[in-house]
A and B are shown apart, each in its own frame.
Chain A
Amino acid sequence: MLSESSSFLKGVMLGSIFCALITMLGHIRIGHGNRTHQHEHHHLQAPNKEDILKISEAERMELSKSFRVYCIILVKPKDVSLWAAVKETWTKHCDKAEFFSSENVKVFESINVDTNEMWLMMRKAYKYAFDKYKDQYNWFFLARPTTFAVIENLKYFLLKKDPSQPFYLGHTIKSGDLEYVSVDGGIVLSIESMKRLNHLLSVPEKCPEQGGMIWKISEDKQLAVCLKYAGVFAENAEDADRKDVFNTKSVGLFIKEAMSNHPNQVVEGCCSDMAVTFNGLTPNQMHVMMYGVYRLRAFGHIFNDALVFLPPNGSEND
């Protein structure tokens, strides 16, 4: 009897030790796996519904105000009609939005970067924004005037993401070894990424003004190369259903594709409910999106959101 119970106990102990060892090893392996996983595919997801339900009313207000998004829109004189549309629509929802233009344009307020080259424009804009606003904003969003953005959905996406971490997100594209965020879908940088970027902008070996010897490399790729040196990697932003929230196409284009690819589930298969950006819009379409997003809705459908965003002052189209 005694020998049996002792062997039983020995068995239990051995079983537990064995299990503990396996769990530890498995965890370490998963840890390594995650890191290499991150080098291949970076997929960032929107926050969980459960996390949201635990927040109180006062906390909601505080939390909402803690996101300070500075918007950079790179424009050229030929973009005037889009520029006007963007100025009158979604940029009003940024905490601050500034237009960086290749040259001064009458009637349109902008910061003149004095260059026509997109990568140089981008560098100058990021440097200006960081130098002037590093203490006032914690997230920096860069877009072209062909893009429509829903800043409230951007802030929701950033819920639970610490800006003191190096985030670089949007719609990513893989080009050989390089994974970069497409400028067409909009580029989001945390303050930490901005810090690292701005440090590197003055290091020509890492972050040259003239990338690519033989042919020009697009500005969004150049940015990715630069950020990589600082240990900042591109991550694709997705919702809970793995749909992209930053889009390089317009809603109309998505719908047309859906109508031919999956005609029985056009809207379901189209786009995220929490989409942040769409691209390739005409000025008229910007105004329609403004109405469609910030005003038009179905009565009687209510949402219990963790954040509260008030409409901007002195605006009538939202």
Chain B
Amino acid sequence: MASKSWLNFLTFLCGSAIGFFLCSQLFSILLGEQVDTQPNMLHNDPHARHLDDNEPSHLKGQVNFNADSSQHKDENTDIAEKLYQRVKILCWVMTSPQNLEKKAKHVKATWAQRCNKVLFMSSEENQDFPTVGLKTKEGREQLYWKTIKAFQYVHDHYLEDADWFMKADDDTYVILDNLRWLLSKYNPEQPIYFGRRFKPYVKQGYMSGGAGYVLSKEALRRFVDAFKTEKCTHSSSIEDLALGRCMEIINVEAGDSRDTTGKETFHPFVPEHHLIKGYLPKTFWYWNYNYYPPVEGPGCCSDIAVSFHYVDSTTMYELEYLVYHLRPYGYLYRYQPALPEDILKEINQANKNEDSKVKLGNP
């Protein structure tokens, strides 16, 4: 008799447990309760997009386009990713041992990761940063030597790894996505180079060193070859001018880097200096140097600007925030630059069922 009531009691308990469980499940479905996750951005960043110094391999291959995922969940980077694969850019950054911590570090933490390959060029090798040692001295006088040697190094080790070869300073901020848009219309086998075009001294003009310039594969081949065959020599220490002269000698075309509305994309100064009317005095050399009619105020700068120069460390991060983070929700930008034809086709094929208007609506 006792065992029977024990059994009864046990089944009763089982029943109540099952009843409780079923009921709680029912209630949770009905009330749609959600687990509250409270991510703390500062402590929990598993998707760290900034390199640890001992991970140089990250620089080589893929870029994680949505690295800090929670801020970019509704972002579609298909086009940017396609261009990353199609328009391979090797960036080399002119720096020096004393500037690694002050300047080059911030370049590395921001735009450098978006190059298909990035190299930091210095007079001395530094295995930790890492930098390539060009075995020159430092200083303004050495700039052209460093440039020649840097391009030689890139040519000898990485010629087949990229289509375009960009030189920048450690105080230049470069927007790689916009550079790829610009270059997507050209063939890397063409002898051509792009940058902020200046008019004096060289008939076809030459590109400002600080604003950065980018050579096609063929242009790089010809440049390196020119020193071997002495078509070009280390004629001066004014790096950008000397390079521009050499380009003209070897028939590398000075390209027009302006956008389809005629606005400049490479900038020798920070946005403020170009956007504010009267900031640069009319007597300043700049007004006489620009190849195309120079503009101050909103017309100075393309929406899809490629570079700015004399960018200090704070401004590097500010630009990074303004370009890749802060945006006006839902805003229909006035300037809608067109996609290169073939890439457009590829994407439309892939997204036949999706609303392609939505894709192209807010580039």
Contacts and interface: CB of A to CB of B under 8 A. Distances in A.
Nearest to A292: B322
B303 interface: yes
Contacts of B76: 301-304
B317 A267 contact: yes
A266 interface: yes
Contacts of A272: 71, 326
Interface string A1-26: 00111011111111110111001000
B327 A273 contact: yes
Contact of B24 (A10, A19, A299): A19
B276 A287 contact: yes
A77 interface: no
A99 B18 CA distance: 66
Contacts of B360: 302
B8 A252 contact: no
A52 B297 CA distance: 37
B14 A251 contact: no
Interface stretch (A194-202, A217-225, A310-318): A310-318
B238 interface: no
A271 interface: yes
B322 A296 contact: yes
A27 to B, nearest CB: 8
A255 interface: yes
Nearest to A19: B23
B7 interface: yes
Interface in B3-24: 4, 7-9, 11-24
A203 interface: no
Contacts of A9: 15
Interface residues of B, number: 91
Contact of A291 (B77, B298, B313): B298
A14 B23 CA distance: 11
Contacts of A150: 326, 328
A243 interface: yes
A123 to B, nearest CB: 32
Nearest to B332: A310
A240 interface: yes
B19 A11 contact: yes
B41 interface: yes
A255 B24 CA distance: 48
A112 to B, nearest CB: 30
Contacts of B279: 284
Contact of B50 (A264, A287, A298): A264
A184 interface: no
B303 to A, nearest CB: 4
Interface in A49-71: 49, 52, 60, 64
Nearest to A3: B8
What's the interface size class on A, roughly? 35 or more
Contact of B42 (A156, A240, A262, A311): A262
Given A7-B9, A12-B16, A298-B323, A304 B358 contact: yes
A242 interface: yes
A11 B16 contact: yes
Given A15-B17, A288-B275, A299-B304, A294 B299 contact: no
B317 A302 contact: no
B204 interface: no
A296 B271 contact: yes
Contacts of A303: 74-76, 327, 362
A133 interface: no
Interface in A27-67: 27, 49, 52, 60, 64
B45 interface: yes
B333 interface: yes
B363 A299 contact: yes
Interface in B94-113: 109-110
B127 to A, nearest CB: 20
A147 to B, nearest CB: 15
Contacts of A255: 314, 317-318, 321
Contacts of B323: 292, 296-298
A309 B16 contact: no
A252 B319 CA distance: 10
Given A301-B75, A304-B358, A311-B332, A267 B320 contact: yes
Contacts of A287: 272, 275-276
A156 B330 contact: yes
A78 interface: no
A259 B305 contact: no
Contact of A284 (B31, B276, B322): B276
Contacts of A241: 39, 41, 70-71
B132 interface: no
Contact of B317 (A266, A284, A297, A304): A266
B329 interface: yes
B88 to A, nearest CB: 15
Interface in A248-279: 251-252, 255-256, 258-259, 262, 264-275
Contacts of A258: 317
Closest 9 interchain pairs by CB? A11-B15, A15-B19, A300-B80, A15-B16, A292-B322, A12-B19, A307-B330, A15-B20, A300-B79
19 contacts: A3-B4, A5-B11, A12-B19, A16-B22, A18-B19, A27-B31, A152-B329, A251-B326, A252-B318, A255-B318, A262-B42, A264-B109, A273-B325, A291-B301, A297-B303, A298-B175, A298-B178, A303-B74, A309-B331
Interface of A: 3-5, 7-16, 18-20, 23, 27, 49, 52, 60, 64, 150, 152-153, 155-156, 240-243, 251-252, 255-256, 258-259, 262, 264-275, 284-285, 287-289, 291-311, 316-318
